[in-house]
Structure 1
């Protein structure tokens, strides 16, 4: 199953989601991420906390829709409220569209400790969600059953 994670700038939550999902190293699951608006540089703290968790960051970069036209996802997962589903290109019409409302740690204001806590909480949230996805019978779920299973795991339509 292929998942495309989407956020406005593709610099934090979607990058974290892509990296953690691919780090699971399960052949049933492949992830990419994209910016729904203007691409940004990957947030340096995203890279730092992934590296500290032992998750490779070498291939991570902010991408636009045009860079992923050959990636045909089963699921398109917006990771926060900043994504407008109406901005999705037509080549995603057959994909299941869902939303995780992750807290964006890059928007956190406060001390270095508060920001670290926000990043670690987001990493943990994504890690837990990824493990829940891997517990699904991915090979045998119809698209409707897959959508329903994701909704049972907290995704929204």
Structure 2
């Protein structure tokens, strides 16, 4: 099963999600990330945070959702629509869910405040991915309605 983590820029939240998911996922599950308007580069703070957490990032890059190497089975948007961001809508016969997370790359303030925003985004995404991977994935893969309901509930987890 392929999971696509999608946001606008594909430089921070979707990258964190992809890297953490792939670091923890069982055999047969794989994540990719993309953006509707990719920045073309990964956020340095996100890369440093993942390295500090022991999550490998080799081979990841900011990419468009056009021409993905695989067709996703599940699409998780991670943009924060409540913050006025427009989430891209992935078209296609996939299971979709929304896990809105504020973009730490837009936070201004002291270094400590910015670092805290990145830590918070990571903690939320990590908690949600842990919950995703704790689901009875083999059973839910055959029951799309139950799978979507479970993923939608996970979107409400706030570290």
SS, match of residue 5 in structure 1: strand
Unmatched tracts of structure 1, length 5 or more = none
Q: CA deviation at 1:10?
A: 0.3
The aligned counterpart of 2:124 is: 125
Alignment of 1:2-151 (within 5 A): 2-68=2-68, 70-80=69-79, 81=81, 82-85=86-89, 88=90, 92-141=91-140, 142-151=143-152
Are the aligned partners of 2:38 and 2:63 in contact in 1 as well (CA < 8 Å)? no
Q: C-alpha distance in 1, partners of 2:131/2:78?
A: 16
SS, match of residue 34 in structure 2: strand
* TM-score between the two structures when normalised by the length of structure 1: 0.88
Q: C-alpha distance in 2, partners of 1:67/1:47?
A: 24
* TM-score between the two structures when normalised by the length of structure 2: 0.87
SS, match of residue 41 in structure 1: coil
Aligned alpha-carbon RMSD (Å):
1.5
Are the aligned partners of 2:25 and 2:133 in contact in 1 as well (CA < 8 Å)? no
Spell out, residue by residue over 1:46-88, the C-alpha distance to the aligned partner (whole angstroms, 9 max, x if none): 11110111111111101112341x4121211110123231xx3
The aligned length equals 149
SS, match of residue 77 in structure 1: strand
Extract structure 1 runs of 4+ deviating beyond 4 A.
none
1:154 equivalenced with 2:158 (yes/no): no
Spell out, residue by residue over 1:6-26, the C-alpha distance to the aligned partner (whole angstroms, 9 max, x if none): 111100000001011111042
